[in-house]
Amino acid sequence: MELASGGELLFCAHHAREHGDKLKQVAVVVHDETHKLGSTPAAASEGER
């Protein structure tokens, strides 16, 4: 989340959901990337073995 003051706040998915409504009241921009949490690229998975 980017704030009007120029600051930036980063949250894990759990806390973003928990406090999202209040944070959206003070945020200028909200970058929601929760869609990235459920998938891992195959190349990255194979490289970790």
pLDDT at 6 over 80: yes
Q: How confident is the model at residue 45 (pLDDT cuts 50, 70, 90)?
A: low
Average pLDDT over residues 16-38: 87
Residue 39 domain boundaries:
2-47
State residue 29's pLDDT score.
Answer: 92
Q: Based on the structure, what is the number of domains in the chain? A: 1
Average pLDDT over residues 17-33: 88
Tell me the pTM: 0.55
Q: What does pLDDT average to over the chain?
A: 81
State residue 18's pLDDT score.
Answer: 92
Following CA atoms 29, 35, 39, 42 in sequence, which dihedral angle do they give, to the nearest 10 degrees?
A: -60
